[in-house]
Amino acid sequence: MKVTDTIVYVGVNDHEVDLFEGQYQVPNGMSYNSYVILDEKTAVMDTVDAAFGQQWLNNVEKALQGRRPDYLVVQHMEPDHSANIPLFLEKYPHVQVVATAQAFKMMNQFFSLPSDIQQMPVTNGGELALGTHKLTFVCAPMVHWPEVMISYESEEKVLFSADAFGKFGALDVEDNWVDEARRYYIGIVGKFGMQVQNVLKKAADLDIRMICPLHGPVLKENLGNYIGLYDTWSSYRPESQGVTIAYASIYGHTKEAALCLAEELRKNGTTVAVYDLARDDMAAAVADAFRYSKLVLASNTYNAGINPFMNDYITRLAEHSYQKRTVGLIENGSWAPMAAKVMRGMLEKCKEITFAENTVTLMSAMKSENEAQVKALAAELR
Ligand SMILES: Cc1cc2nc3c(=O)[nH]c(=O)nc-3n(C[C@H](O)[C@H](O)[C@H](O)COP(=O)(O)O)c2cc1C
């Protein structure tokens, strides 16, 4: 598949993967992208997941049209992109491998490569001329591993962005880019907002006409929109006004209060996303907490603590640097409700959290006073 006349897509679609990175549900599969640049010299940009070695090699061979590859550029050592480095070097032992020093170190950790491989270590700002095409390498530490670099090709103004601007989903399935890109970004890179901001600052000086990520489609239009979303996500600003309600309930009474709140909010035109933390996709619930300006956590008390699913959820939010949001609390308990206190305590390490003044406290089941509390919380959040 041509990206341009001289850049060819040689990646693969994976519909067999059950959990991406061992935890993310990917109902539409995954793409592992790789590209070939054809010029006086040829460069292959990254490899693909181990399961697709032969298919990828065939794609590369076809794209090269009988030529030999001169360079293998390794932007990221995560195995879904690097697993086929040994296979590639077995077939093309003369190739110069271009990567950061830290990537070479990881290469030797992951693989037992021959000692005579041709290494070309690069640092930030390093360049590689292929003919009319010229790659400039920009180090992007922790976006989302420390060895990551992205590559700017100045002839066609293409940014090879490594995992940035990637998404879940194979390329042969139509879906909503922003939802699957947000779930991917928040889950995988979300913790490293400051590092993403640093890369965006470096990229602001570049004239970018096209973004070639390691997952998801090549982005050719409305690049300002995608870059703007990355700026929003990495600065932890809400993307939209709205409320995410995440609940964990054993017998259904806390759920009832959560759904009652959702109804109250919707009545007034507030956008609401509701998640059952025991049953719905936790990564989607985390992504929507970042998407919307407000969050309500509803949990039953559990052994003087909170429901284990809520515990997992708040732990994930805190790990992803959740911040700059308003949070409301709904708790339930049959003898000593503690959930609101525990949830509040868990979020205290998060920056710039404003707690709603109204807390809903159920003593086992919804009563008329709880309905009044729910209405008061809704009034405060809308
Ligand atoms: C294993 C277990 C531990 C619980 N621990 C407490 C507790 O420490 N304090 C309390 O008040 N209620 C506790 N409860 C009771 C529930 O929190 C309470 O019945 C609540 O109303 C359940 O809400 P739900 O209908 O949303 O599941 C516990 C329940 C279970 C099953």
- What's the burial of 247, exposed, middle or buried (CB within 10 Å: 0-12/13-18/19+)? buried
Tell me: pLDDT of 177 over 90. Answer: yes
Residue nearest to atom 16 of ligand 1 (CA): 333
User: How far is the C-alpha of 302 from the C-alpha of 224, rounded, in Å?
Assistant: 46
Please state the atom number of ligand 1 nearest to the C-alpha of residue 256.
26
Find where tokens 């794209």 sit: 63
Domains of the chain: 7-234 (3.60.15.10), 243-381 (3.40.50.360)
- Separation of CA 331 and ligand 1 centre (Å): 10
Q: What percent of the chain has pLDDT over 90?
A: 98
Nearest CA to ligand 1 atom 22: 300
Please give the pLDDT value at position 42: 98
Write the CA distances from 56 to 14, 16, 234, 363, integer angstroms: 12, 16, 32, 59
4 falls in which pLDDT band (50, 70, 90)? very high
Q: Give the length of the chain.
A: 382
Render pLDDT for 70-91 as a digit per residue (tens, 0 to 9): 999 999 999 999 999 999 999 9
Residue 298 near residue 343, CB atoms below 8 Å: no
Question: How far apart are the CA of 55 and the centre of ligand 1, in A?
Answer: 53
Please tell me the residue having the least CA distance from ligand 1 atom 1.
302
Dig out the tokens for 7 from the structure.
């850049």
For atom 19 of ligand 1, the residue with the nearest CA is: 334
Q: What is the pLDDT of residue 144?
A: 79
Region 2-31: mean pLDDT is 97
User: Ligand 1: distance of its center to the CA of 366 in Å?
Assistant: 14
Average pLDDT over the chain, rounded to whole?
97
CA of 24 to the centre of ligand 1 (A): 30
Ligand 1 center–CA 379 separation, angstroms: 28
Residues framing ligand 1 (Cβ under 6 A): 249-255, 300-304, 332-337, 364
| CA-based nearest residue to 97, from 120, 75, 77 | 120
Q: What is the ipTM of this complex?
A: 0.99
C-alpha closest to that of 254 among 317, 322, 183, 343:
343
Q: Please name which of 353, 351, 359, 349 lies closest in space to residue 380, comparing C-alpha atoms.
A: 359
The per-residue pLDDT for 231 is 97
Task: Please state the atom number of ligand 1 nearest to the C-alpha of residue 247.
Answer: 26
Report CA(131)–ligand 1 centroid distance (Å). 69
Calculate how far, in angstroms, residue 334's C-alpha sits from the geometric centre of ligand 1.
Answer: 6
Contact yes or no for 277/248 (Cβ under 8 A): yes
- Cis link prior to 144 (omega < 30° from 0)? yes
Structure tokens at 40: 């006086």
Around Cβ 90, how many Cβ atoms within 10 Å?
A: 12
**Atom number, ligand 1, closest to the C-alpha of residue 253:** 25
C-alpha 309 to ligand 1 mean position (Å): 14
Residue 192 scores a pLDDT above 90: yes
For a ligand 1 pocket test, name from 253, 302, 366 the mutation site with the most ligand atoms within 8 angstroms of its C-beta: 302
Q: What is the C-alpha R_g of the chain?
A: 24
Which residues, 6 or more positions from 369, have their beta carbon under 8 angstroms from its beta carbon?
A: none
- Mind listing the pLDDT tens digit for each residue in 197-230? 999 998 898 999 999 999 999 999 999 999 999 9
**Interval 324-363: pLDDT, tens:** 999 999 999 999 999 999 999 999 999 999 999 999 999 9
Find out whether 45 and 38 touch, Cβ atoms under 8 Å. no
Distance separating alpha carbons of residues 349 and 141, to the nearest angstrom: 25
Instruction: Judge whether 203 and 227 are in contact, CB under 8 Å.
Output: yes
Q: Supply the pLDDT for residue 74.
A: 98
Q: What is the mean pLDDT of residues 177-189?
A: 97
Give the model's pLDDT for residue 270. 98
pLDDT band at residue 289 under the 50/70/90 scheme: very high
CB atoms under 10 Å from CB of 5, counted, come to 8
DSSP letter for 192, please.
G
The pLDDT of residue 350: 97
Q: Residue 319 pLDDT more than 90? A: yes
